[in-house]
Amino acid sequence: MAVNPVKGLTGFLMAIANATQNWNDNTQTVLPGYRDRIVTVFLDTDEGGLNLDMPLDILERLRARGAAAGTLIASHFEVPSLLGPDIGMNWENHRWLRLRSTMGALKDYLAHFTLAMDNPEAPDASYQELINATTGLPTVRYKFPVGDRDTVSHIAQHLCATGTQMDATPGIDKGLPQPSARLVVRGSLES
């Protein structure tokens, strides 16, 4: 992860604004399978950022650097996944890293899901009871259509079984690309 020196109060305030705006992108830049699609394009102080009135020659320089960065990334991924020899960063390597990272993250996520599904805090109703409820809040707010309850119940049980099976498969965690990824629930920006 990039570390930028902070100079003075203005620099400190800009660092706070940058962290607020870019924290999620910054956490992904270190992940295998994500960092492989990033090219660093260095900017001079008169380029990019808040330099909103850049002359045409600077814009052309930035366009050329962006085009070179795009060409570099595309060159890594132009050959499809063909199960060939390991030649470093290519599309096959990229896809494999993403799969391995995702499987590790999914195992962790489903372990927490299964624990919550199987172990409600007394006297709480279990999640299965909430799914299948015919009275109470689940029948009034954010309810499942009656015809879908059995399917949702089955899916939840299947996810728990998958979580248990993944938990019993230690090889999923062996040799994971580092740092490991985490699945998180976040609100949609499209609502």
Instruction: List pLDDT tens digits, range 129-140.
Output: 999 998 999 999
Average pLDDT, the chain: 90
Residue 134 within any structural domain of the chain = yes
Between CA 91 and CA 94, with CA 92 as vertex, the angle to 5 degrees is 60
Q: What is the pLDDT of residues 33-71, one digit of tens each?
A: 888 888 989 999 898 877 889 999 999 999 999 999 999
Label residue 1 by pLDDT band (50, 70, 90): low
Q: CB of 182 within 8 A of CB of 108?
A: yes
Domain residue limits at 142: 106-172
Backbone angle region of 5, left / alpha / beta, with phi > 0 → left and psi within -120 to 50 → alpha:
beta
Whether residue 4 is predicted with pLDDT greater than 80 in this model: the reply is no
Share of the chain above pLDDT 90, in %: 55
Q: What is the mean pLDDT of residues 155-184?
A: 94
Q: Do you find a cis peptide bond into 80, omega within 30 degrees of 0? A: no
Lowest mean pLDDT among 3-12, 31-40, 82-91, 127-136: 3-12
Residue 114 within any structural domain of the chain = yes
Residue 191 within any structural domain of the chain = no
Residue 87 within any structural domain of the chain = no
Structure tokens at 69: 């960065």
Give the number of domains in the chain: 1
Residue 135 within any structural domain of the chain = yes
Q: What is the mean pLDDT of residues 176-190?
A: 87
Residue 95 within any structural domain of the chain = no
The pLDDT score that the predictor gives to residue 2 is: 59
C-alpha torsion angle, residues 135, 141, 147, 150 (rounded to 10): -70
Residue listed under structure tokens 């996520």: 109
Whether residue 190 is predicted with pLDDT greater than 80 in this model: the reply is yes
Share of the chain above pLDDT 70, in %: 98
Q: What is the mean pLDDT of residues 1-7?
A: 71
Residue 94 within any structural domain of the chain = no
Q: What is the pLDDT of residues 141-166, one digit of tens each?
A: 999 998 999 999 999 999 999 999 99
Assign 3-class secondary structure to the chain: CCCCCCCHHHHHHHHHHHHHHHHHHHHHCCCCCCHHHCCCCCCCCCCCCCCCCCCHHHHHHHHHHHHHHHHHHHHHCCCCCCCCCCCCCCHHHHHHHHHHHHHHHHHHHHHHHHHHHHCCCCCCCCHHHHHCCCCCHHHCCCCCCHHHHHHHHHHHHHHHHHHHHHHCCHHHCCCCCCCCCCCCCCCCCCC
